[in-house]
Amino acid sequence: MGTVEPSSNAQRGVRVQAPLVDSVSCYCRVDAGLKTVAGARKFVPGAKLCLQPDIDPHAHKGKNLRKERVRFQPPLLPGLPDDLAIACLIRVPRVEHRKLRLVCKTWHRLVSGNFFYSLRKRLGMAEEWVYVIKRDRDGRVSWHAFDPTYQLWQPLPPLPVEYSEALGFGCAVLSGCRLYLFGGKDPLRGSMRRVVFYSTRTNRWHSAPDMLRKRHLFGSCVINNCLHVAGGECEGIQRTLRSAEVYDPKRNRWSLIADMSTAMVPFIGVVYNGRWFLKGLGSHRQVLSEAYVPETNSWTPVNDGMVSGWRNPSISLNGNLYALDCKDGCKLRIYDDATDSWNKFMDSKAHLGNSRALEAAALVPINGKLCIIRNNMSISLVDIANPNNNVETNPQLWENIARKGHLRTMVTNIWSTIAGRSGTKSHILHCQVLQA
């Protein structure tokens, strides 16, 4: 009683709604924070359509099959819903992600997409690796990635050919997962405007918009996730530069900012208390220091105790400014705003030496600690959370890691000495930390 036969509906011209079919390619329910289909599509490249397909018996079979192949995908893990499969895959250690990409196309799309790594970061599972770019004895530029969890050096795709022998180029990290190389001087073609970046999410190199000016041996920094460059050199009548520019990744373009007070070739720089400090040589080889204020887009000369006692390498972390005060990074100093001076923070229990191979080339933060990287690829971790404890009684405050890489470098140095080659030409150019 009260039921209507489908045939009577057809006679009255009423179209019967086709039943909805569940689609395993729908990722909408993976993240409750994604309220729309468009939002889910943005984070999951593999989900071209997140709508359930409807059944049309009059559609062309070939066309319908093509649609079904797009809309339906096999599950990520057989026997599990995709949301649970993703919950499992995001817990796989980063060192194994290269293997995950090789399993199948569906896994490759997932592990190469923003959704996968955004979820890892939001849940506190993102891992930090140290990326070292160095110039070898033959003048070639190479790069290496160090996994501090397993204390192993990991393989990487080759550097872009334009940076295989470049001089004086910049290096910076944006968004925590993109390593940018920019500018520099090609031995044959001179100064460059070129910009490329490596993504830890795709494990590939990509192109970015060129800088507005050709330059090499310049200063660079990241403020509010925007890349700033200033000064440097370029072939021509006005060799030393005053110009500065900024790259905004959201707008994907470069813009000019205020020129420096004087032309400079910076050799040290740091962002501290919202200002970008640069110290370098002027056009007449005099030592200059300037600070850039982003809020007012202005440069001002500085000559206080912070700049006069400044050492390289240095880093600003958690509101404090740290610097290393000896060749092999055995003494860590901290800047005191109240007294405008550099004070002792922590010293290593052992002085390694003053050779070029042992020279501290970079100071970067990793997993809440300070990481010292030396030219021989040895690495030390300093726990800055406990500065008052004695390193002699608590060696975990200052520990040396990357021993295998260190050992290989020692063996290489011995053979180079036997062969009559000098080991002083091999040195680190840049060092950065990337998440994935």
pLDDT at 183: 98
Section 122-137 average pLDDT:
95
Q: Which residue has the tokens 């997932």?
A: 110
Q: Which residue has the tokens 């290593």?
A: 348
Asked if 304 and 260 count as a contact pair (C-beta separation under 8 A), the reply is no
278 closest CA partner among 324, 329, 228: 228
Asked if 245 and 212 count as a contact pair (C-beta separation under 8 A), the reply is yes
Section 48-64 average pLDDT:
42
pLDDT at 72: 66
Section 314-320 average pLDDT:
95
Peptide bond preceding 155: is omega within 30 degrees of 0, i.e. cis? no
Separation CA 351–CA 296 (nearest Å): 44
Q: What is the DSSP letter of 424?
A: G
Domains and CATH numbers, the chain: 20-122 (no CATH), 127-156+320-436 (no CATH), 157-303 (2.120.10.80)
pLDDT at 395: 75
Asked if 110 and 97 count as a contact pair (C-beta separation under 8 A), the reply is no
Separation CA 205–CA 222 (nearest Å): 20
pLDDT beyond 60 at 385: yes
pLDDT at 399: 87
pLDDT beyond 80 at 160: yes
Q: Could you tell me which residues come within 8 angstroms of residue 294 by beta carbon, excluding any fewer than 6 positions away?
A: 223, 224, 274, 276
Section 271-291 average pLDDT:
95
pLDDT at 392: 65
- SS3 of residue 103 by DSSP: coil
pLDDT beyond 50 at 38: no
Separation CA 62–CA 5 (nearest Å): 32
- SS3 of residue 92 by DSSP: coil
Percent of the chain exceeding pLDDT 90 equals 65
| β-bridge pairing 178-182 and 170-174 | antiparallel
167 closest CA partner among 186, 153, 149: 186
Asked if 213 and 234 count as a contact pair (C-beta separation under 8 A), the reply is yes
Separation CA 254–CA 246 (nearest Å): 5
Percent of the chain exceeding pLDDT 70 equals 77
pLDDT beyond 90 at 163: yes
Helical spans, DSSP H, in 123-226: none
pLDDT beyond 50 at 54: no
pLDDT beyond 60 at 47: no
pLDDT at 415: 38
Token pair belonging to 105:
């196309």
Asked if 125 and 57 count as a contact pair (C-beta separation under 8 A), the reply is no
pLDDT at 401: 82
Q: Could you tell me which residues come within 8 angstroms of residue 395 by beta carbon, excluding any fewer than 6 positions away?
A: 349
Q: pLDDT: is 157 or 55 the higher one?
A: 157
390-428: b or e for each residue (b if 16 or more CB lie within 10 Å)? Answer: ebeeeeebbebebeebbeebeebbeeeeeeeeebeebbb
Lowest mean pLDDT of 70-79, 107-116, 318-327, name the range: 70-79
pLDDT beyond 60 at 97: yes
Lowest mean pLDDT of 81-85, 125-129, 404-408, name the range: 404-408
What's the mean pLDDT when you consider all of the chain? 83
Q: Could you tell me which residues come within 8 angstroms of residue 269 by beta carbon, excluding any fewer than 6 positions away?
A: 219, 220, 221, 276, 277, 278, 279
pLDDT at 237: 66
What is the total residue count of the chain? 436
Separation CA 412–CA 169 (nearest Å): 27
| β-bridge pairing 265-272 and 379-382 | unpaired
Instruction: Assign 410 a pLDDT band (cuts: 50, 70, 90).
Output: very low
Section 124-128 average pLDDT:
95
Q: What is the DSSP letter of 28?
A: G
Q: pLDDT: is 336 or 238 the higher one?
A: 336
For 173-224, how does the pLDDT look when each residue is reduced to its tens digit (9 = 90+)? Answer: 999 999 999 999 999 999 999 999 999 999 999 999 999 999 999 999 999 9
For 336-371, how does the pLDDT look when each residue is reduced to its tens digit (9 = 90+)? Answer: 999 999 999 999 877 888 888 899 999 999 989 999
Q: Could you tell me which residues come within 8 angstroms of residue 92 by beta carbon, excluding any fewer than 6 positions away?
A: 100
Asked if 232 and 242 count as a contact pair (C-beta separation under 8 A), the reply is no
- SS3 of residue 294 by DSSP: coil
Report the predicted TM-score, pTM, of the whole model to 2 decimal places: 0.80
What distances in angstroms separate CA 235 from CA 94, 167, 211, 228, 255, one per listed residue? 43, 14, 16, 21, 22
364 closest CA partner among 422, 434, 263: 434
